[in-house]
Structure 1
Amino acid sequence: MAKKPTTATKKEIELFHTWLATEDPLSIATHLYVDADAVFSAALLSVLKPDAQVLFVPADSEIEDTRTLGVDISNGKQAIKGLDVGSAFGLLVIGMKSIDKPVYRALRRWAHQLNLTDSGEGCRDGVVLAELVKAWRSLGLGDEGCFERAKELVAGKIKTERSDNKQKQLAKSVKITNGVAVISNGSKIRAAHVFNQGAKILVRESEVGHSLMISKQLVKKGVKLTELAPLLEKKDWFVHPAGFIACYGSVKSPKNFRESGFNLQEIVRFATTWLLSHVDSGSIKIHTR
């Protein structure tokens, strides 16, 4: 997807942008007996334009109506095939890069996959989108059913990307003291984003319990929470054998954090003391911001 777009690709992207900027009523057309490129392209357009009607037409149909965008169809001035990119879906995703970066980032790997498989090339991904369509058909789903499943996946992927972007911004406001970050206000922030801000330990207090998590950097240096097992396990905490997390309660097994045996300040205190002991020994370094 990093190749310089050809004239044909630029023309198709312009066609896509023009359709996207057109007010409803709109329609989306793709061919009957949908394959992965057809169904995921139609699904993406439907997520972007939820009120647009979706039509399944013969593959040799000519799409001429300016309010209709044909995807994975070759004929007509309103048809997009994405031949120079590799797939219609790949072209649509490229077209989103200048309009909505989160959508582009969310779907670019799927687009790369379809660019390969739709061009007859091999793909080593664990889950291939083309195989999903085959599986749906094996369950007896027709074009409409496959489309609805694909739309759920596309919508979910985009929603996840937007949520992840929000979490990255929230992580910047998390206070880090002596390498220890604390989240106790119910904020949903991935630990990785907090560690990227320089934290070595993340302490959480939430409706599902208390937890401690350490960065991959610490684990790679041999610093593991299993060192705290004698303190934590007698309070019925779970300490993962790999040493990267310890918790009293989780989303999989919620518990009352008030019954964890420690209050938040106590957890922060012993976690900080433990971390600084490794700093003093020279095994790790922490940076304040």
Structure 2
Amino acid sequence: MDSLPAQRQALLFEAGGVRLALRLSHVRKIVAAPGDEAELSVDGLAMAALPVAVALGRPFRPCAFAVVTESSPPTALRVERLLGILDLEAAEVFQLPARSLLPQPPPFLAAIVARGELSLELSPEALGWAAVNPAAEPLAPPPEAPPAPGRELLFERAGQVYAVPLPLLVQVVEQPRVHPVPLTPPVHLGLLYQGRALHAAFDLAAIYGDAPPAAGPAALLVDAGGLAVAVFADRVLGATEAPRDAAVRRPTWDALFAT
């Protein structure tokens, strides 16, 4: 049986602690390349050796392999681990959510989900020797919305209570697993894969200038202007735990995530 076209297969690897992918149509060769030399010789051809982690603003870790690209001239992308080759027919390929705060042009073409693991598909043309400039942080606290007594869910994040009107609440996700996205600002925690959909995940504590703890044990999917985004919660409050009204933040959700 003939193999799938290279465009329908992807090489999976890890760099800077993040799972990444590159279509095989962009890959010329994979070589063992321990060390940190700025140049490699492959098949007698000298080429620049670029640590992918550095380009994506991630902590540098020792690299064991180099992925030689089909670009002209070819570049050797230094990576930490190889994770295998994936048949994209057995995976879900998503455009990155519209609410994602990415540099422009974005260094990622898509997100690939297979067997519960998410990998970001690299755009090799976006990588260079200097780290890509991270995305700006345009999110700021929006105007407060009026209370909706009896029709809102209250939750706590970093010691502050927030309210979501029930008509805007899509789902409460327990123990969410968020996949990091390099080069996004601190308010953008990454991507949440839930119900065969991909959502940008945010931290309200960072948006409001509070000191955020680690990603919370729950996430709320909230309809913000027709698109569901994930916001983290340390805990969801019961009906008898409601604080006095003045202590509750009620952001205008569609205005909050309008970028």
TM-score of the pair, normalised by structure 1: 0.25
Structure (1 or 2) with the greater strand fraction: 2
TM-score of the pair, normalised by structure 2: 0.27
Higher RCO by CA contacts (8 Å cutoff, separation 6 or greater): 2
Query: Larger Cα Rg: Structure 1 or Structure 2?
Result: 1
